Structures are given as C-alpha cells and as structure tokens.
Amino acid sequence: MRKGILFALLVCCLACASDDTPEIARPLDFEDLERLSQDTRGVHRPISLINSGSHYGYYFYEPSGYQTDEEDYPVLIYLHSAEGFTRTGSERDLDLVLQHGPPRKITEGTWDPRYPMLVVSPQLKIDNLDWEPNKLQDFIEYLEETYRINSSRIYITGIGLGGRGIFDYLVHIGSKQKAAAVIPIAGKGSPILARSVADVPIWAFHGEED
C-alpha cells in the first residue's frame, strides 16, 4: 500500500469523520470541535531546535482561527521516518520532515480536514536514533504548556521509525501516556506487549513492501 493512500486514510480517520466512517471510529461528542473557527488557510512554520525550548525542533501548523478565538485545539503529532533526521538541528534541516504525511499535505496545499487542528512535526537529531518515550512525553507536555491544546484530543501518527516510536511510547509510558488515539504506519511492536496498550484506540497499517 502506498504512503499517499495510507495518509489519505489517516486524514479520514482523525479529521474528516465523514458519514462513511464506521461508528466505532467516531468520537462520541463533536461539540468542542463544532465551536472551532473554520480553517481558511493556516500558517506552517519551522521552529528550530535552538528556539524550541524542548527536545526537538519542529514544524508547527496553526489553523487560521487559532489566533482569533480562545478555544483549545486538537493536536496531531507526526513522527517522521528514518529519512527525516537532522545533523545540525538547523531550521533548514527541518524541511526534511515535510517529505511525507500531514506536513507534506500542508505544504502541498491539500490539507483539508473537516475540523481544524494543530499539526506538530518534531525532528530527531542523527545522534538520537529513536523516538525515546520519555522525551516524547516531555515534548507533549511542552506543547500543552506552550499552546492552547485540547488535552482530550491529542493524536499521534508516524511512519516507519515513527510508527515504532508510537508503540514504544504507549508501552513504556503506560497509563500516563497522553494520546487519545494513534495511527502507526509501517512500524513494529511486540505482540507480547499488546495487552499493555489495549485501552488505546489504534489503527495500524503495514504494507506488503515494508
């Protein structure tokens, strides 16, 4: 299954909630989302490691209504694959996280979810070869402190290395993990540890070529 198809499914699951979405995949209450201002074209900007105040530099997408209303917003965190590492932590290197997934769709102008959301795409340095669960937890807490985030609607997706990072995060952080739902793509996890993540909604994908 191609990456573009996988992320089209991702957008449908987390954002579109169309009439064709199975009832089991739908949130029970949309009232908080209905209050959000329509996203008429937001701002997608790089925040380098030196300026982020966190473990990672990251791309940050801000829906157009975020600055004009006072609502808390859902956030989608995208964890890149092995293609997204930076050697320097510079703002220029952050463009490597735009190759796939939601940040690519935003850059191409095809990001159009039914409900607006913040999209955060952090970047690993080459000397840190995995998405370490504790650092990811710290990063999510940093986001909660820095932006107006609806803490009941924190979603995480990732591909390859990022997909594995999601499974590691859920297993090692356990009941303190903050994700409302996750979509790992082409990532690996241990079936032996599956019981420990049984309470988290997971929509996992893995293509035959992965």
CA distance 102 to 80: 10
Is the predicted pLDDT of residue 25 greater than 70, yes or no? no
Q: What integer pLDDT is reported at residue 192 of this predicted model?
A: 75
Higher pLDDT, 11 or 194: 194
At residue 170, does pLDDT exceed 50? yes
Q: Is the confidence at residue 61, as pLDDT, over 90? A: yes
In which band, very low, low, confident or very high, does the pLDDT at 1 lie, cut at 50, 70 and 90?
very low
* Tally: H helices and E strands in the chain: 6, 6
Q: Is the pLDDT of residue 102 over 50?
A: yes
User: What are the strands, taking DSSP E only, across 134-208?
Assistant: 149-159, 181-185
pTM of the model: 0.85
DSSP β-bridge partners for residue 121: 59
pLDDT exceeds cutoff 80 at 78: yes
101: left (phi over 0), alpha (psi -120 to 50) or beta: left
Q: Model confidence at 150, in pLDDT bands (50, 70, 90)?
A: very high
C-alpha angle 61-65-70 in degrees, rounded to nearest 5: 110
The answer to whether the CB of 94 falls within 8 A of the CB of 123 is yes
Burial of 110: CB neighbours in 10 Å, binned 0-12, 13-18, 19+: exposed
Cα distance between residue 142 and residue 55, in whole Å = 9
- Give the C-alpha separation, 19 to 140, whole Å: 31
pLDDT of the residue at 28: 59
